[in-house]
Structure formats: structure tokens, C-alpha cells
Amino acid sequence: MASYIATASFALSTIFTALVLCQSQAQLNSTFYATTCPNVSSIVRTVLQQALQSDPRIGASLIRLHFHDCFVNGCDASLLLDNSANIQSEKNAAPNTNSTRGFNVVDNMKTALENSCPGVVSCADILALAAEAAVSLAGGPSWSVLLGRRDSLTANQAGANTSIPSPFESLSNITAKFTAVGLNTNDLVALSGAHTFGRAQCRLFSSRLYNFSGTGNPDPTLNSTYLTTLQQICPQNGSGFNVANLDPTTPDGFDNNYFSNLQNNQGLLQSDQELFSTSGAATISIVNTFSSNQTAFFQSFVQSMINMGNISPLTGSSGEIRTDCKKVNGS
């Protein structure tokens, strides 16, 4: 009898604990703003369309902001906070400085949303919505974005320095950084497909063109025709700030050409080409699948964007809804 009571009370307390946990880790959902800001997606999309008129690269820049936000303390808009007395901005972390762009467009989205639904839509959700709009406007898939994230009160510059993958890292190190945020090898390959649009600066790949790993020669995994093109864009003593298209075939379109580029040894970054050229890697067959089947790539990409967007969001009463994405409220 006593043991029966003990078992029953253990079961009850387990259920209770599970309920409490569920509440503190509330799920995002696609209808979060259905009554409070029903037009949120089209407002974000309209501001992006406006920006694309004068800057065909801006969609790519915006999806990258969502990635760099989510990998550091979760998708909480920590990346958007400027330096202040209490904030050491992630914008000045190594992967972001002189590199991330589009913050002014995020501010324009926030202003438009504050005009329609003041104090309602988080900056973290704006990044997730902008990422989807960027992909679909560039010819990629559309999906229902999960919403309900709140904005952080802090930034983590040291975390940004260490958690965001670098283009010079080995495949196993990059895989480890994805695993650290709960993303697997399939997510890594699918999300790398975002390099089907946008640009990269010469300083982030030019060592491959002239003196790879101190060998005095180019990276042997670089297609020799493509090498000549890249050497013209990035002369040996030229500006490291010149840019090349991440996808030389369809620079601003969202498609699966990124993966056929890798098969042709035309990955721009070392980290891109490693997905196909690391001998024995599990990533090779995934690259081949996405290269031969764009539908398979799009399906995986959508699922992996949802997975990335689910990294430790602040929900419920954690964090806040910032009125200015650059600043913690009241600071």
C-alpha cells in the first residue's frame, strides 16, 4: 500500500514537473500575432521589397543576421543591440565586424511594425520573418514562420566570437558548432545552401587563391577556371574588401546551384567546398542529393530553418519586446 502511494505520488509529481517545464519552454507557433498584429508578415515583406529595389543583396544579408543571432544565446535579437554602458555589442565580434549588414532595414521593419501594432512584435521575430521573405522573394521556398520569440536584455560578444563558424575551420569543427546548438549534419548541409545568394569579401577566401595553408599554391580543391576569375576579383595585393558572388551561376536567386557548384569545385569559401571535398565525409551524399533534387533541398532547407529558429527562444515573460531593436527598453 505504502509503495502504491509512493508510486502514485511520484507519477503525479512527474506530471506536474512536466507541466511546469512545458510552460517555461513555451512552443513558438505560426499564429502568435494573429489577433495582435495580423499583417505582420506582409509588413516585413513590403519593407524588404522596397530595400531590394536598390540593393539586390539585402535579402541575403538579412537571413545571415537571423543565423548569427540564433547561434549566440538563441534567437533573441542579441545581435541587434548596439554598444552601450552595459552592452558589448555582438556587432563588433570577429564574425560580424565589417561584415554583417542590413541593420538599417531591420530598423525600417521595426518602425513600420510599431506604426501598425505598437509594442507587439519582437525584433527576434522580425529577423525570422525577414529570413523567410528573403528566401521566397529570391525564388526559394515559402513557409509558415514560427513566432513568439522575445528580445534579450543582454548581448554576448565573447559567445559570438566563439560560437559562429568561421570559413577557415575544418568540417569537423563546423559540425561541432552546429551540434552545440542542436543542429545535425543534414541541417549543416541544407543551411549552407543559403550561400546560393549573397556575397563574400576577398579577405575571407583569398588565401585559397595564392597561398593556401602556407603551401605557396592555391587550394587544390578550387576549379582552375574559377580560380582565374576569382584572382581577377581579388588581386594578390588588392583590397580584401572586394566582394565575389557566393554562387557564381545565379548570384541573387535562391536555388540548388550552390550544390552543383560544390560538385564542380566552385565553392567560394573553404568551408563551402569542405562539404563535398572532405574525404569520407557524411556531407558528400547530402550535397549530391540536393544537387540532383531541388525539391529535396527546399524541403530540408525549410525544416532546418525552423530548427534553427527554435534555438532557445525567450518566451512567456522572459526578455521583452524592444521598441528600438538597437537598445534595451528604457536604456
Neighbours of 264 (CB within 10 A): 15
List the single partner that 251 binds among ligand NAG, ligand HEM, none, CB under 5 to 8 Å by kind. none
Is 23 near ligand NAG (CB under 6 A)?
no
How far is residue 306 CA from its own chain's centroid?
11
Q: List the one residue out of 196, 176, 200 whose CA is nearest residue 71.
A: 176
Report the C-alpha gap between 306 and 68 in whole angstroms: 15
Decide if 149 contacts 122 (C-beta within 8 A): yes
Among 89, 152, 196, 265, binds ligand NAG (CB under 6 A): 265
H/E run at residue 243:
strand 243-245
CB-neighbour burial class of residue 123 (10 A; exposed 0-12, middle 13-18, buried 19+): buried
Of ligand HEM, ligand NAG, none, which one does residue 26 interact with (CB within 5 to 8 Å by kind)?
ligand NAG
* Beta-ladder partners of 314: 150
- Given 233, 269, 282, 306, the residue binding ligand HEM (CB under 6 A): 269
If contact means CB under 5 to 8 A according to the sort of partner, which of ligand NAG, ligand HEM, none does residue 200 touch?
ligand HEM
Paired sense of beta strands 199-201 and 243-245, if any? antiparallel
Contact flag: residue 231 with ligand NAG (CB under 6 A): no
- Quick check: helix, strand or coil at residue 197? coil
Does the annotation list 324 as a binding residue? no
8 Å CB contact between 165 and 174: yes
Is 66 in the active site? no
Nearest to 296 by CA among 186, 185, 136: 186
**Does residue 94 belong to the site contacting ligand NAG (CB under 6 A)?**
yes
CA 326 to chain CA centroid, nearest Å: 19
Q: Of 146, 155, 194, 302, which lies in the binding site for ligand HEM, with binding defined by CB under 6 A?
A: 194
Judge contact between 25 and 129, C-beta under 8 A: no
Per-residue string for binding with ligand HEM, 100-139, x by CB under 6 A? Answer: -x--------------------------------------
From residue 269 to residue 308, what is the string marking binding to ligand NAG with x (rule CB under 6 A)? ------------------------x-xx--x---------
Which of the residues 68, 150, 208, 322 is marked catalytic?
A: 68
Residue 165 annotated as binding?
Answer: yes
Per-residue binding string, ligand HEM, 51-80, x by CB under 6 A, is ------x--xx-xx--x-------------
For ligand NAG, the binding residues in 42-61 under the rule CB under 6 A are 42-43, 46
Ligand-binding site membership of 89 (annotated): no
- Phi (first) and psi of residue 134, to 5 degrees: -60, -45
Q: Are 105 and 137 in contact (CB under 8 A)?
A: no
Minimum distance from residue 321 beta carbon to ligand HEM (Å): 25
Contacts of 154 (CB under 8 A, 6+ apart): 73, 78, 81, 86, 87
Cβ-based neighbour number of residue 86 at 10 Å: 11
Determine if 230 is a binding residue for ligand HEM (CB under 6 A). no
The annotated binding site is made up of 69, 72, 74, 76, 78, 90, 165, 195-196, 247, 250, 255
Q: Which residues bind ligand HEM (CB under 6 A)?
A: 57, 60-61, 63-64, 67, 99, 101, 165-167, 174, 191-192, 194-195, 197-201, 204, 246, 269, 271
| Binding-site residue set for heme b | 195
What does the binding site for ligand NAG look like in residue numbers (CB under 6 A)?
A: 26, 29, 31-32, 39, 42-43, 46, 93-94, 97-98, 148, 157-158, 161, 169-170, 173, 211, 214, 216, 223, 225, 236-237, 264-266, 293, 295-296, 299
Catalytic positions are 68
